[in-house]
Chains A and B, each alone.
Chain A
Amino acid sequence: MSAREEILRRVRAAFPPDPADGEDGVVPVPRGYPCHVDLPRGDVIALFGERVAARRAAVRHVAADELAVAMAAMLWAREAKRVAVPADLPRGWLSGLEGVRPLADDPPLDPATLAEADGVVTGCALAIAETGTVVLDGGRAQGRRALTLIPRHHLCVVHADQIVGTVPEAVGRLDPYPPLSWISGPSDGRSLEILVVED
């Protein structure tokens, strides 16, 4: 008997189906926890800012036409000279930069270059207000996972319409198949800044 067959046999012998379980034998799962926050849209965005700050990440709210200037200011404040960016980062985001060199990840930057970069700028797939989280799925303006793993600083741009209220809302919207990175505050000695763009 193969290990697979033997383990499955042991599993089924150990916990045989209970005739009292009903026809399909499915255990019902109560879902009484809240799936939405009961707040007006503006307050959800404000809540996100508060929760990000509570996780010791810097957060700034700007209007869409101020994005480039605000980003330049945030990078200058950190004296960043070279920042890694995904190849498909919107060009407009970096248009205000002077003296900061963007390093496009195309062809892929090698780990040494990433380690020497002063930071990385990305967008995100969505953000969660209640927990102050940004989630990256490798989609537009986000790049591959290594881009956010190696550099010592991460500046993440969140559009206000990407912010959902709760974790259940986020799980409902996310595609399970691409690699996901859920980031809630800085970790492992790498800093995190969030730029919220309100349209």
Chain B
Amino acid sequence: MRFSDAARPELADPRERRTRRQAAEDARARQAAATGELPDWEPLRESGAAIRERTLRELGTHLETLETAVAEEGGRVHWARDANEARRIITGLLPADADAALVRSDVTDELGLEGAEPGPHTKAAVVGAGFLVAETGTLVVTGRGEGLSIPGTLVVVAGIEDIVPDWTDLEVLLQLLARAGAGLPLHPAVATRTGEFELVLVDNGRTKVLADPVGREALRCVHCSACSDVCPVFERTGPRPYGPGRAGPIGAVLTPQVRGVEVSLGASLPFASTLCGACADVCPVKIDIPGLLVHLRGRVVDARRRRPVPNPELLLMRGLAWSMGDERRYEQTVVRRARWARLLVRDGRIRRLPGLLGKWTDARDLPAPPRRSFRAWWRRRG
């Protein structure tokens, strides 16, 4: 489904919109206080961006280091090419006779895993990783660590990019995540556990994202949700119209890359933005989300170019390209179109354009074109 269609019911509910607006205002205030009080927020972001960039650039090496470190501490690593394979591996690891508890994360949502919260009697747990330290084989979660110390089976699920190379990187990541995401100096609780777990590393489209030299920057994401908190579009629509993947601005750049720009959700998400840039300003690892959106808009248009029947926008653009390709053609077109357009003017404005162009005037007026074009005026001026 297209983003704009999915957003319509969400926009029609004034009470939900009020709640979302209030939540977003609160989150923005907390975030601004937590990042503003730190005079060295910017060097911390620089460092975080470089750590994540390094992770992606040397991903194969770090994955192998992680695998070795986990094995040395008594754990095992399993690899899943897609969601089905991941679910199959997880089911196989869990004891058949006990219900497994779940500590959710974005990747467990992605796989559609379900389960109760872990409690004192939990015998098996599936935990979505915050991130993993490759050097030491350490799992880090923001939370009290329920499920991390159970006597039974502990299955840890992570995306292949949810790792940092070195133990020292924790000092950067923990602060960035907490200040940008929760608006706190550190999360109320952070728990770690090294080795001694069954780690399931999930690809499920991530290597496709990694293969786009521009789009791969989105994989730096540390799942803090700061971009959603400041997004004017997300504030109005909430998470649902972004579809089954990640929501908010980061979802708008990841989902089209994972699911393809040919399907309606993937083709519409890059346009679900005003390109205001607030997300890039707050991102703790400096992902240029507006830049990625523009890049993906280009990919959407390129994909449409290959269709046998061009869509109206493409036809219009081809027409424009033809008339603007030659000075005389251009001048003639301007004069003719302006003459036509003036026929539509009422009270100095055009309130409604005909046909498909009418969509543009749905929400705005067009000023009446002047009698003389700029170029004509310029020539006479001399």
Query: Does B184 sit within 8 A of A, measured CB to CB?
Result: yes
Known contacts A29-B51, A32-B47, A176-B136: does B188 contact A185 (CB below 8 Å)?
yes
CB distance from B156 to the nearest CB of A (A): 13
CB distance from A86 to the nearest CB of B (A): 14
Query: Does B201 sit within 8 A of A, measured CB to CB?
Result: yes
Partner of A181, one of B59, B63, B144, B167: B144
Known contacts A11-B63, A32-B43: does B149 contact A145 (CB below 8 Å)?
yes
Residue of A nearest to B62 (CB): A11
Tell me whether A30 and B73 are in contact (CB under 8 A). Answer: no
Query: Does B365 sit within 8 A of A, measured CB to CB?
Result: no
Which residues of chain B come closer than 8 Å to A146, judged between CB atoms?
Answer: 120, 149
Known contacts A3-B80, A32-B46: does B63 contact A8 (CB below 8 Å)?
yes
In the assembled complex, the Cα of A176 lies from the Cα of B66 at a distance in Å of 14
Known contacts A33-B40, A112-B120, A188-B144: does B191 contact A132 (CB below 8 Å)?
no
Tell me whether B85 and A3 are in contact (CB under 8 A). Answer: yes
Tell me whether B186 and A167 are in contact (CB under 8 A). Answer: yes
Tell me the A178-199 residues at the B interface (CB within 8 Å). Answer: 178-188
Tell me whether B81 and A6 are in contact (CB under 8 A). Answer: yes
Residue of A nearest to B210 (CB): A14
Tell me whether B81 and A130 are in contact (CB under 8 A). Answer: no
Which residues of chain A come closer than 8 Å to B262, judged between CB atoms?
Answer: none
Tell me whether A7 and B81 are in contact (CB under 8 A). Answer: yes
Query: Size band of the A side of the interface?
Result: 35 or more
Tell me whether A14 and B211 are in contact (CB under 8 A). Answer: yes
Partner of B171, one of A32, A114, A171, A179: A171
Query: Does B293 sit within 8 A of A, measured CB to CB?
Result: no
Query: Does B172 sit within 8 A of A, measured CB to CB?
Result: yes
Interface residues as binary, A11-22 with B (CB distance below 8 Å gives 1, 0 otherwise): 111110010010
Known contacts A3-B80, A132-B185, A144-B149: does B207 contact A180 (CB below 8 Å)?
no
CB distance from B289 to the nearest CB of A (A): 20
CB distance from B149 to the nearest CB of A (A): 4
Known contacts A14-B210, A32-B46: does B186 contact A149 (CB below 8 Å)?
no
Tell me whether A184 and B57 are in contact (CB under 8 A). Answer: no
Interface residues as binary, A106-126 with B (CB distance below 8 Å gives 1, 0 otherwise): 000001101100000000000
In the assembled complex, the Cα of A129 lies from the Cα of B180 at a distance in Å of 20
Tell me whether A10 and B191 are in contact (CB under 8 A). Answer: no
Residue of B nearest to A133 (CB): B186
In the assembled complex, the Cα of A114 lies from the Cα of B120 at a distance in Å of 9
Which residues of chain B come closer than 8 Å to A177, judged between CB atoms?
Answer: 73, 136, 194-195
CB distance from B104 to the nearest CB of A (A): 15
CB distance from A177 to the nearest CB of B (A): 5
Interface residues as binary, B294-308 with A (CB distance below 8 Å gives 1, 0 otherwise): 000000000000000
CB distance from A117 to the nearest CB of B (A): 12
Tell me the A67-116 residues at the B interface (CB within 8 Å). Answer: 111-112, 114-115
Tell me whether A145 and B145 are in contact (CB under 8 A). Answer: yes
In the assembled complex, the Cα of A128 lies from the Cα of B133 at a distance in Å of 21
Partner of A187, one of B79, B171, B172, B188: B188
Which residues of chain B come closer than 8 Å to A26, judged between CB atoms?
Answer: 54, 58
CB distance from A128 to the nearest CB of B (A): 8
Query: Does B11 sit within 8 A of A, measured CB to CB?
Result: no
CB distance from A142 to the nearest CB of B (A): 13
CB distance from A59 to the nearest CB of B (A): 16
CB distance from A127 to the nearest CB of B (A): 12
Which residues of chain A come closer than 8 Å to B54, judged between CB atoms?
Answer: 26-27, 29
In the assembled complex, the Cα of A13 lies from the Cα of B119 at a distance in Å of 43
Tell me whether B47 and A33 are in contact (CB under 8 A). Answer: yes
In the assembled complex, the Cα of A112 lies from the Cα of B120 at a distance in Å of 8
In the assembled complex, the Cα of A185 lies from the Cα of B187 at a distance in Å of 9
In the assembled complex, the Cα of A186 lies from the Cα of B64 at a distance in Å of 38
In the assembled complex, the Cα of A190 lies from the Cα of B159 at a distance in Å of 31
Which residues of chain A come closer than 8 Å to B10, judged between CB atoms?
Answer: none
CB distance from A150 to the nearest CB of B (A): 6
Tell me whether A131 and B53 are in contact (CB under 8 A). Answer: no
Which residues of chain B come closer than 8 Å to A176, judged between CB atoms?
Answer: 133, 136, 138, 167, 192, 194
Residue of B nearest to A186 (CB): B188
CB distance from A182 to the nearest CB of B (A): 4
- Can you sample 11 A-B contacts with CB below 8 Å? A3-B79, A7-B79, A7-B201, A11-B60, A146-B120, A167-B171, A168-B171, A172-B168, A172-B171, A181-B191, A182-B190
Binding site for B on A (CB under 8 A): 2-4, 6-8, 10-15, 18, 21, 25-35, 51, 55, 111-112, 114-115, 128, 130-133, 144-146, 149-150, 167-168, 170-172, 176-188
Binding site for A on B (CB under 8 A): 40, 43-44, 46-47, 50-51, 53-54, 56-60, 63-64, 73, 77-81, 85, 119-121, 133, 136, 138, 144-146, 148-149, 160, 167-172, 174-175, 184-195, 201, 203, 207-208, 210-211, 216
List the 5 shortest-distance A-B pairs measured between CB atoms, nearest first: A111-B120, A32-B43, A187-B188, A27-B54, A14-B211
